[in-house]
Amino acid sequence: MKIYDYLIIGAGSAGCNIAHFLKRNKNKIAVIDREGIAGGASGAAGAFLSPLPGKKNLYNSFVNDALNFSLDFYEKLVPNEIEKKGVLRVPSTNFNNIKLQNNYMKYEYFDTKKLQNISKNFKDIDGYFYENAAVLEPLKICKKLLDGCDFYQKDISKLIFKDGVYEVGKLRAKNIILAQGVNTSLINIPYIKISPIFGLRVDVKTTTKIPFNIHKSISISTNKNDGTLSIGATQQRHDAADMKCETTCDKCTFYINTDEAQIKTLLDQANELIELENLEVIKVYKGARATIKSYFPTIGKVINDEASLKKYPTIKNGTKIPLESLIYYKNLYVINALGSRGFVFAPYLAKILCENIINNIHIPKELSTQKLFFKMARSKKITII
């Protein structure tokens, strides 16, 4: 029987990128997804790649480092599938003029006159132009990333670890990587508390030429190769307590009949930025972003929290334990919580996780599973039995 080196559960941006990076290291890889390739949040994504402006801090430095890496990566991987024409950020409540001007990144200010010289369809807006921005076609990217990997469309409900090998249905693998997005994890990982943010995006046809991506509270893409453009996305926090995410948003009762209102919101907001002539909505996509409170995504080995706390109960009082002394599930890794920037983060995270798995290179603290575990352990709510 064929034993894979790595079996990845989830064929979204996270799973496909880690598959690609591990494959480059000559590993035998299988990827599994019950919905097909990019059947979850990844298929719904815009997928806009935009910088995060503002004064320099840990988070926007991470976002912009990831963006630079990923733009370069996609340009080499799929030179014909990436539209890198920059983005115009229009001031909004979250990003007002002051925030956009107090910026550690290079930008060019476009006043209304300049914009209307570029296209008469621009409304009475102004904004800040950043060169380093693009838009992608998510399904094509995910498929390309899986070149050379085996793909199986299956719903996995159980992981069994026996004699040093994982049994997943009829498949066998030495290592597992969980890349499940908002879906209920196959292992209980209480320190990674995923909270889903639902969203909807539309692809439209229009005779208006859009010179670059435009972003205010929603984004409008430049015209793509096939003449369509994307407008996205709405955001609706999914606060239903303990509701398990077992299906895609398309089939989820929580979201039934919300489409029309959400499409209208998107088109109205787009229309405040630029007039889209002869507009026709051609496809609607729905998905849920996986987020955690810290905003940073998380990657690394999966810690067995109960066993670790039993062995080192003083962790909860703040005792420092060397990371290698914690107890981990055997050969089990996670890449998740990519939030609203899954296509910006995934190649960068996959590179870091791959280097950690293969060469034991350190994962930055803010991205590590250990940081989330220690945080949960030291919070007052936990009791050790």
Ligand X SMILES: Cc1cc2nc3c(=O)[nH]c(=O)nc-3n(C[C@H](O)[C@H](O)[C@H](O)COP(=O)(O)OP(=O)(O)OC[C@H]3O[C@@H](n4cnc5c(N)ncnc54)[C@H](O)[C@@H]3O)c2cc1C
Binding residues for ligand X, rule: CB under 6 A, are 9-15, 32-35, 39-42, 44-48, 155-156, 179-181, 183, 186, 199-201, 232-233, 287-290, 336, 338-344
Q: Report the candidate in 250, 233, 262 with the shortest Cα–Cα distance to residue 339.
A: 233
CA dihedral 179, 218, 128, 91 (to 10 degrees): -120
Angle of helix 342-359 relative to helix 13-24, nearest 10 degrees?
Answer: 40
Cβ at position 41, least distance to ligand X in Å: 4
Identify which of residues 171 and 377 has a Cβ nearer to ligand X in the complex: 171
Cβ at position 136, least distance to ligand X in Å: 8
Which 3 state secondary structure label does DSSP give 202? strand
Identify which of residues 86 and 181 has a Cβ nearer to ligand X in the complex: 181
Cβ at position 248, least distance to ligand X in Å: 7
Cβ at position 336, least distance to ligand X in Å: 6
Which 3 state secondary structure label does DSSP give 347? helix
- How does 25-38 read in b/e, with b if 16+ C-beta sit within 10 Å? eebbbbbbbbbebb
Identify which of residues 175 and 308 has a Cβ nearer to ligand X in the complex: 175
Residue 28 near residue 10, CB atoms below 8 Å: no
Cβ at position 23, least distance to ligand X in Å: 16
Identify which of residues 245 and 377 has a Cβ nearer to ligand X in the complex: 245
CA dihedral 322, 295, 10, 244 (to 10 degrees): 100
- Asked whether the CA dihedral 164, 169, 171, 175 is positive or negative, the reply is negative
Bridge partner list, 290: 196
Residue 37 near residue 143, CB atoms below 8 Å: yes
Identify which of residues 158 and 320 has a Cβ nearer to ligand X in the complex: 158
Identify which of residues 233 and 274 has a Cβ nearer to ligand X in the complex: 233
Distance CA 248, CA 4 (A): 27
Cβ at position 339, least distance to ligand X in Å: 6
